[in-house]
Chain A
C-alpha cells in the first residue's frame, strides 16, 4: 500500500484541477483510503495519471526493419545495462527494452502501437512483450485488406462486421487502423489514389466507402476505440481538403484522424506550400464526433515509417535517402525512409507550425492529443519540448523567430496566443487518450483506476518538469525515480473481447487458402503465448 500526500493533483476525468489531495494505492489500484504502508510526501510536486502514448510505432516488422537499417542512428544513444535493466540503443528507433524504460522515465505508462499488419501480429506481440513496464495494445491495419474490400464491394455488411471481429481476435489487436485506404492496394502495382472516389484495384471500392463502412462496423461492434485513420494524400501540398472530405464522409459517426499535421496542408505545390490548419481546426471545433492527434514535427533526425507505401516511395524520391518497402500479401504495405526536419527548410518550418496551430486552434483539449507519430514527426522523447511550446507563448515566439520565415508567413502560428494550462496538458497526454481509447481504468486517479501515477517536481520551466518526473508509479509500484529505472517488470496487453458469427471462418476459408501462403489454422495468434499478460476490454454493442 502507498499513500501520496500533499501533492497538487491534476485529474481531469474527475474534474480535479490542481487541488492538494492525497492519492492512495492498494493492490495496483487507486483506492480511497490506505491506512498503512509507504508514504510519499509530494509537497511542492504535481501528480498526474501515467501518460498514455496514443499513437507511436514501437513494435513489429516495420519498426524492426527501421532499427535494422539505421546503425548510424543507434550510435547516437547507447544505453548501458544496469543490474536491474537490459542494455539497448535509443534515439529515433530505440530497441524494445530502451523503449519501455525511456517512456517510463518520461512518466508514460501505456503505449499503443499504431499500425500492425495482421500477418505480422505475432511479431508485434513478441516485441510488445519485450517492451518492459508499459501496458500496450496495437491497431490492426485493415483499410486495404482483401476481405474488407471484398465485403464492401459485395455490399455484405454483416460479413464485413464478422470479418473485422474475427481479425481482431485472430491478431490480438485493439482497434481498426486505416492507412491511405484504397491507395495502398493500388500501390501493389506501383500506383496510388488521390481522391476519395478513386477505386482500389483488387475490388472497385473507394476510400470513401472503406472509411464509411469501417466507421459503421466500429459502431456496431461497439469497439472501445473509433476507427483510426491515416488519410489519403499524406504529406502532400493541399491535402487538408481530402482530410476534410474524409471527416465529412463519415457524417456524424466517430472518427479519429491521426497525425493530422501531416494531412493539414494548403497550397498547390512545394512552392506555395502553406498551412491548412485553420480550416481543419474549424471543422473539428464544429464536429464533436472527430478526434485528432498532433503528429508534431520536431526539428532533427527522424525515421519515417508507415503502411503508406506510395507516400514513402515519394519521400524517397524527394529525399534520396535509403528506402525500405515491404508489401504484405492480402493486407497492406510498409515503407521506411530516414529523414531530417530542418529549421532552415521552408516546408519543414511550415510543417512544424501546422502541428502547433492545430493544437492551439482546436478549442476542446479532449479531442486533440499530443503525439509526434513517433518516429515520423520526431522521437517521443521530445514531448517535454512540445509541452513547453504549448504552455509558453513567449518561448514559442522565440523559437518561431529562429526557424525559416515561411513558418510565419504561411501559417497563423505567430497570431496564436493561447497557452495550455497544466490541466489541459493532463488532458492531451492522459485523460483524453484514455477516453478516446475506451480504457476506463486509465488516465485518471479515481478509485478503481490502475495505479499509474506520475509525480513531477514543480518547476517554472515545463520542459524541465516534464523531462524528469520525481516518481513514476506503474500498477502501484515505483518504476522510475529521478530519471532512473528502479523496477523492471512486464506490462500487460489490451485486446478486445468480441462475439461474432463463427460462420465467417468458412466464408473466408476458400479465398484464404487460395491466396495466402500460410495455412488458415496457423494464422491466428496463440493468446497464451503472445499475450501472456492480457486484459480484455469489453465492447458495448449497440
Chain B
C-alpha cells in the first residue's frame, strides 16, 4: 500500500509531501524524504517487541504502569514534566493539563535549544515570516550558527536556496547565500560566501553589522576580535541593505554559545534595523519535529513558552529557575515524567544523574538512555506513524500528522489522559478537562 502526502515529524522542517510504502505492517519504502526522515520512518514497525510497560525493569500492563505513575507524580512535592518536542499537540495539551493538576514544573527542549531566541523575542520582538515567503521572495539568505545540510537536510531544496518561487523564477540563480559559522560545516558547500568568525564572537559581529548598517564609521581595530575583517563586515552589511528581501536564519551556534539570548536579541535587532532600508526577516532554525508545537501549546494555555511552574496554582515563568536543567541540577525535582525526549543523553550529566536518583516515568516509542534509568517505562505509538495529531513547522505553520501504521501501543495522548484521570481521582476531584 502506498500513502501520499505524508507529513514527516522528524525535524522542524516538517516536509509534507513524502510517499510511504507499507507491506505486511512495515514501512518498506519512503520517497521524497531526507536521510534522517527515511531512517526514522523505516526504523518503526508495528511490532517492536517491547512490553507495553516496565516497572522497575519488570514487564507490566499499561493499567499497572498508569497506576504507579499516577502514585509517583501525585505523591511528589516538586515534580517535573519534561521533553514533549517529538510528540503532537493533542498530547502536549494533556501534558500541560497534568502539570496544572499536579502543580508541577513543565519544560520542553526549547529551554536547551532556542530558549534564548524566545527570551530575545520577549525583549525586542521578532520580525519573521513563513518559509513560503523565503521561497517566493528572498534574494539574500544568511545562515548564522546553523548547519541545515545536516540538521534539516531538505531545507535548502524545499524552502530556501534552490526552489523557484513567485518572485524568484530562476531559483538558485536569484539568490546569494551566506554562511556565518566558527568552522566550515557541510552547509558551506551551499553558500556563495563563507565567513568564519571566532568562537564566542557572534555578538560582536552582529553589533558591528548594526553599527555599519546605521552608517557609523568603525575602525579596523574595533572588529579585530571577531575573526572577520572590516571589509568583510562592510561587504555583508552592504548586501543586507541592498537586497530586496533578506532572511537571517539563526541556529544553536548563536543561541547556545557565549552570549545566548544577547546574541539572538542582537540578531533580531539587526533585522529590525534593516527595515529602514529593505525587507528582512529572521527565522530560528527549530530542530525537533514539534518543538514549535509545545512552545505554542504552552503559550496559549499558560502565557509562557517554556520553563513554566504551577506550584502556586497558577503559571509562572522564569528561565533558570523553572527550566529542567536547573530544577534537576539543583536537586529540586523529586519525581519526573519524561516524554518524547531523551534528557539523560542530551542534558548535562548532573541533570541525568538526578533523573536516575528520583522516581522517573518515561513515555517513549523505543528504548533510550532515559528509559535505562526510569522506574516506570510506558511504550507509546510514534507520532506521525501510528498516532495522529497536530504538528507545527518551525515557522509556526500547523499541519496534521496522520496515522498509517497500526500499533499495539497507545498514543501519548491516551496514556497522559489516563494519568490525568487517575491523578484527579487520587486527589479527590471529579471534574477535569479531557476534551480534545
- Say yes or no: A79 contacts B436, CB within 8 Å: no
Q: Apart from A69-B125, A322-B124, A329-B136, what are 16 other A-B pairs with CB-CB below 8 Å? A: A59-B300, A68-B304, A71-B304, A81-B310, A86-B433, A88-B315, A96-B300, A96-B301, A126-B390, A189-B137, A324-B121, A327-B281, A330-B136, A518-B16, A519-B16, A522-B400
**Given A67-B300, A188-B133, A517-B131, A323 and B272 contact (CB-CB distance below 8 Å):** yes
Once bound together, how far apart are the Cα atoms of A87 and B136, in whole Å? 42
- Say yes or no: B436 contacts A532, CB within 8 Å: yes
Contact of A328 among B129, B166, B275, B313 (CB under 8 A): B129
Contact of B300 among A64, A79, A325, A490 (CB under 8 A): A64
Contact of A88 among B93, B124, B303, B396 (CB under 8 A): B303
The reply on A61 being an interface residue by CB < 8 A is: yes
- Say yes or no: A488 contacts B433, CB within 8 Å: yes
- Say yes or no: A329 contacts B130, CB within 8 Å: yes
Encode A484-517 as 1/0 by CB contact (under 8 A) with B: 0000101000000000000000000000001111
- Say yes or no: B399 contacts A522, CB within 8 Å: yes
Tell me how many residues of B have a C-beta within 8 Å of chain A.
Answer: 68
Contact of A87 among B100, B124, B133, B390 (CB under 8 A): B100
The reply on A298 being an interface residue by CB < 8 A is: no
The reply on A336 being an interface residue by CB < 8 A is: yes
Once bound together, how far apart are the Cα atoms of A93 and B304, in whole Å? 11
The reply on B289 being an interface residue by CB < 8 A is: no
The reply on B299 being an interface residue by CB < 8 A is: yes
The reply on A119 being an interface residue by CB < 8 A is: yes
- Say yes or no: A188 contacts B279, CB within 8 Å: yes
**What is the chain B residue whose CB lies nearest that of A517?**
B132
**Given A87-B100, A189-B279, A522-B16, A71 and B303 contact (CB-CB distance below 8 Å):** yes
The reply on B422 being an interface residue by CB < 8 A is: no
Q: Which residues of A contact B436 (CB under 8 A)?
A: 129, 532
Please provide the chain B residues from 1 to 55 with a CB less than 8 Å away from any CB of chain A in the complex: 4-5, 7, 16-17
The 6 closest A-B pairs by CB, nearest first: A329-B132, A322-B125, A327-B129, A122-B398, A89-B303, A80-B313
The reply on B278 being an interface residue by CB < 8 A is: yes
Once bound together, how far apart are the Cα atoms of A488 and B430, in whole Å? 12
Contact of A119 among B245, B279, B397, B429 (CB under 8 A): B397
**Given A68-B121, A71-B122, A329-B136, A123 and B131 contact (CB-CB distance below 8 Å):** no
Encode B307-350 as 1/0 by CB contact (under 8 A) with A: 00010111111000000000000000000000000000000000
The reply on B370 being an interface residue by CB < 8 A is: no
- Say yes or no: B399 contacts A86, CB within 8 Å: no
Contact of A123 among B130, B137, B279, B396 (CB under 8 A): B396
Please provide the chain B residues from 89 to 110 with a CB less than 8 Å away from any CB of chain A in the complex: 89, 93, 97, 100-101
Encode A321-359 as 1/0 by CB contact (under 8 A) with B: 111111111100000110000000000000000000000
**Given A189-B245, A313-B275, A515 and B303 contact (CB-CB distance below 8 Å):** no
> Would you give the shortest CB distance from A464 to chain B, in whole angstroms?
26
A-B contact pairs, 28 of them (CB 8 A): A70-B303, A71-B303, A74-B303, A81-B310, A83-B429, A83-B430, A122-B400, A123-B392, A129-B436, A130-B300, A130-B301, A146-B166, A190-B275, A190-B278, A190-B279, A316-B272, A322-B124, A324-B127, A325-B125, A325-B126, A325-B127, A488-B431, A514-B166, A515-B132, A517-B130, A517-B397, A522-B399, A532-B436
Q: Which residues of B contact A129 (CB under 8 A)?
A: 435-436
Please provide the chain A residues from 54 to 91 with a CB less than 8 Å away from any CB of chain B in the complex: 59, 61, 63-65, 67-71, 74, 78-81, 83-84, 86-89
The reply on A53 being an interface residue by CB < 8 A is: no
Once bound together, how far apart are the Cα atoms of A384 and B156, in whole Å? 53
